[in-house]
Structure 1
Amino acid sequence: MEYRNLGRTGLKVSEISLGSWLTYGGYVAEENAINTIHKAYDLGINFFDTANVYMRGEAEKVVGKAIKKFSRESYVLATKVFGNMGDGPNDKGLSRKHITEQANASLKRLDVDYIDLYYCHRFDPSTPLEETLRALDDLVRQGKVLYIGVSEWTAEQITEAAHLADKKLLDRFVANQPQYSMLWPKIEKEVIPVSEKHGVGQVVWSPLGQGVLTGKYKKGQQPPAGSRAAEKDLSNLLTDENLEKVDKLTQVAQELDITVAQLALAWVLRQPNVSSALVGASRPEQIEENAKASGIKLSEDTLARISQILG
């Protein structure tokens, strides 16, 4: 496993990280989830991601239970705040009240003394940005949080936060968690250039296009039983055009003696601004295959072929 700096910080995170969205705390049996986290750690993955809203706190509990056997210094733990955690008017958003209460609740569920990376899961237009930044800065000063980040913020929102933090001498965001893959390259136009300017690294989710870039879905065939597409509507990704692209990408991967999933992850990691590619796994074998993508360097010729395929 190879490691990269998280944005413009000294923190080293594994190129492949393991997330718990749609998996741990309900969809995947707890034993499988714990075994997968343990396998990831054995493979050198030191970066684990969850969120308070994943199964309303249950995912955090499973992750906390799994990492209990590791020394606290040996891993980087990320969770998030923003989503709806109750029925009250203050049970969501990025107010000082909600951030403070949810940080304490996450620490309790994860059973740790501090969170390495705390994300604002989405932008909150109903709360002044300064209130959010000051609440997060307080958590950092209290030692409950080491680094702060955002998820799915626009280039303009990231810029505004960086300028305000500098002006008010508050802790800066160092990470952004956007969707990014061969089938969803939107951040390349504005988010990556702005992030590079402000020292923000990308921790990208869905680098395998919600499983489409594993090659398990075939044109004209029903999704395999138990797959994500069998449970969830992925029609925006499972287009004939995308499936034809995956077929061609599979040929490229075979020539390189790697899987198409490893090719997709290596393509995402070709970006210097990407600190880590965040994958989901319900079985230890899946994380083992994904981890092998770390360190794969794609030649200029291969990247040119991929660009041609992706159009």
Structure 2
Amino acid sequence: MLRRLQTDYIDLYWIHSWDFSTPMEETMRSLDHAVKSGKIRYIGVCNAPAWKIAQAQTAAWFKDWTPFIGLQIEYSLMQRTVEEELIPMALELGLGITPWAPLRSGLLSGKYNRKNMGKVDGRFTDRNGGAELTEKQLSIIDELERLAEVHNTTTAAVALSWVNNKPGVTSTIIGVRTTEQLNANIAAADVHLSAEEVASLDQLSAPPVTFLSEYATMIPMMQHGGVEINGFKPAPVPMLANMIPGKY
């Protein structure tokens, strides 16, 4: 493979998805051998469950194998479920996050909006010529268009700026077909959204609340019992406050 690539080594080797038919130890040991033999410098993992990555990373640390340094996942204003497990895991274990499909495969490129529904052809257009978009998706696109006008840029640049500035994101994978699209994506580096603008996009694109997300908001309040510790006092959770009046 290295001869075909006309190189002596690969800077960053990605596992595109986890092979559950192969023991984790065998996978990590093989990757470690490739690194220590000089064929690979660093390894990254893509599209795998957080628990499996954490298991592999822990094994690498204890067995002196090469650990992962990067995590590649789908992440955009239209796909934020990774914020529950994968992104916190990456931040905790020291993996740089590389989002793919930051424009949701073109949905946030500016091609689709309320005005042209049914008038454009693409992967998000149904057989009857109408765009298969939900009201939530259209609301996000509406806000992107508003912010693009404020910053004198494109909706794609605003959407990419939102992703690029999320904690842990070190690089973003973009896909373009034209020079115009490439320039529009590169322009995202010059878009600086305010805290209020980011908060607006965050609110509109908020992912569904799951058990862990909901429970995590209650843990600090239950642990502190309404007491300030080291200058920190968690915000009250109405449900808990109503259960035991006066305690919190």
Give the structure with the higher percent strand: 1
List per-residue Cα deviations over 1:15-57 (Å, max 9, x = no partner): xxxxxxxxxxxxxxxxxxxxxxxxxxxxxxxxxxxxxxxxxxx
Match of 1:221 in 2: 117
Gaps of 5+ in 2: 207-248
Match of 1:199 in 2: 94
Q: Could you say what secondary structure the match of 2:89 adopts?
A: helix
Match of 2:179 in 1: 284
In structure 1, what is the Cα distance between the partners aligned to 2:171 and 2:99?
Answer: 7
**Aligned AA (1:165):** A
> Would you say the 8 A contact 2:43–2:68 is kept in 1?
yes
**Aligned AA (1:221):** M
Q: Return the offset for 1:153.
A: 1.4
Cα distance change, pair 239–289 in 1 and its aligned pair in 2 (3 A): same
Q: Return the offset for 1:309.
A: 2.8
In structure 2, what is the Cα distance between the partners aligned to 1:305 and 1:172?
Answer: 37
Matched, 1:148 2:43: yes
In structure 2, what is the Cα distance between the partners aligned to 1:202 and 1:275?
Answer: 6
Percent identity over the alignment is 37
Q: Could you say what secondary structure the match of 2:34 adopts?
A: helix
> Would you say the 8 A contact 2:78–2:137 is kept in 1?
yes
> Would you say the 8 A contact 2:125–2:132 is kept in 1?
no
In structure 2, what is the Cα distance between the partners aligned to 1:236 and 1:190?
Answer: 31
Q: Could you say what secondary structure the match of 2:31 adopts?
A: helix
Gaps of 5+ in 1: 1-103
Q: Could you say what secondary structure the match of 1:243 adopts?
A: helix
Match of 1:250 in 2: 145
Cα distance change, pair 143–228 in 1 and its aligned pair in 2 (3 A): farther
Match of 1:268 in 2: 163
**Which of 157, 168, 178 pairs up with 2:52?**
157
Match of 2:27 in 1: 132
In structure 1, what is the Cα distance between the partners aligned to 2:68 and 2:131?
Answer: 31
In structure 2, what is the Cα distance between the partners aligned to 1:231 and 1:279?
Answer: 25
Give the alignment's TM-score, normalised by structure 2. 0.74
**Which of 39, 53, 69 pairs up with 1:174?**
69
> Would you say the 8 A contact 1:207–1:268 is kept in 2?
yes
Matched, 1:208 2:110: no
Q: Return the offset for 1:243.
A: 2.5
Q: Could you say what secondary structure the match of 1:275 adopts?
A: coil
**Which of 12, 31, 53 pairs up with 1:117?**
12
Match of 1:238 in 2: 133
**Aligned AA (1:224):** V
Q: Could you say what secondary structure the match of 1:207 adopts?
A: coil
**Aligned AA (1:197):** E
Q: Could you say what secondary structure the match of 1:193 adopts?
A: helix
**Aligned AA (2:95):** V
Match of 1:308 in 2: 203
In structure 1, what is the Cα distance between the partners aligned to 2:9 and 2:181?
Answer: 29
Q: Could you say what secondary structure the match of 2:167 adopts?
A: coil
List per-residue Cα deviations over 1:75-112 (Å, max 9, x = no partner): xxxxxxxxxxxxxxxxxxxxxxxxxxxxx3xx344332
CA RMSD of aligned residues (A): 2.4
> Would you say the 8 A contact 1:208–1:214 is kept in 2?
yes
Give the alignment's TM-score, normalised by structure 1. 0.60
